[in-house]
Structure 1
Amino acid sequence: MNHNQQSNEVRHDDENALSDFLASLTDYTPTIPDELVEHYLAKSGFQCPDVRLTRLVAVAAQKFVSDIAIDALQHCKARQAAVVRDKKDKQQRDKRLIMNMEDLSKALQEVIITL
């Protein structure tokens, strides 16, 4: 088998995997509604006639928001751990995590978004 045949087989496998993934999106309901995604896509001048592509954008946006929330939570934990270290009485440590705009701002700055 020569290099061209191998390359074509890999490309065909990749196309099949992508097709299978896009097909699986029709059964998945992302957190971000299709209507909202379609609205912002239309607002940006992009018409998306296929629900699978709309869902793909929704899943990508959901992942993006989730990553930012996780990063903000890590900043919150670090900030609250620093406060506990500064206090002499560690017995009264509050277990609740309270995120604030500072935590969110730090997480957003990591992806080059400033508030």
Structure 2
Amino acid sequence: MEFPTPQAAKEIEQFLQKLEDYPPPIPDSVIKQILSECGMHTNDIRVSHIMNVVCQKFMSDVMTKCCECAKLRAKEDKKKKKLDIQVSDLKAALETRGIHVNRPEFIVSIEPDEKEKEE
């Protein structure tokens, strides 16, 4: 493992100081819960803030890719003027990140027969 250069160490310290003033969009309790489920237990709030920034960046990248997929789909359908994001767009965006979602495109609910309702 290489140690950071003095300049890099200074930049890291400045970044950590900026994180203290940054209001996290995801509550710290949520980040701590996710970290503990992954087996990482820490009381250092800086770790929580760094993970918060990483999660926010990941979600931003996925949503940007979703919008790109939706725009490509919208070009094919000239009638629609509004941009709508569908599950297929989310699946495509996540697959570019190596996350494969095995979920049906739609869910069908089946009404029980009248006889089953009476029982």
TM bracket (short chain): 0.7 to 0.9
Gaps of 5+ in 2: 102-119
Match of residue 72 from structure 1: 66
Q: 1 or 2, which has the higher helix percentage?
A: 1
Which deviates more from structure 2 when the two are superposed, residues 95-104 or residues 39-48?
A: 39-48
Instruction: For residue 73 of structure 2, give the secondary structure of its aligned residue in structure 1.
Output: helix
Question: Take 1:45 and 1:106, find their aligned partners in 2: how far apart are those partners?
Answer: 29
In structure 2, C-alpha distance between the alignment counterparts of 1:67 and 1:103, rounded to whole Å: 13
Deviation at 1:95, TM superposition (A): 2.2
| Match among 84, 93, 99 for residue 107 of structure 1 | 93
Give identity over the alignment, percent. 28
Number of residue-to-residue matches in the alignment: 99
For the residues of structure 2 that align with 1:107 and 1:43, how far apart are their CA atoms? 25
Q: Could you say what the CA RMSD is over the residues aligned between the two structures, in angstroms?
A: 1.5
Give the distance between the partners of 1:100 and 1:48, measured in 2 at CA: 37
The structure 2 residue matched to 1:43, chosen from 20, 37, 61, is 37
SS at match of 1:47: coil
Partners of 2:13 and 2:49 in 1: CA distance: 14
Q: Is the 8 A contact 1:23 1:52 kept in 2?
A: no
The answer to whether the 8 A contact 1:22-1:53 is kept is: no
Which residue of structure 1 lines up, in the alignment, with residue 112 of structure 2? none
Structure 2 residue aligned with 1:27: 21
8 Å contact kept, 1:75–1:106? yes
- State how far apart, in whole Å, the 2-side matches of 1:48 and 1:13 are: 27
Higher relative contact order (CA 8 A, sep 6+): 1
Q: What per-residue deviation string (whole Å, max 9, x for no partner) do you get for residues 56-76 of structure 1?
A: 001001100110000000000
Equivalent residues of 1:75, 1:103 under 8 A apart: yes
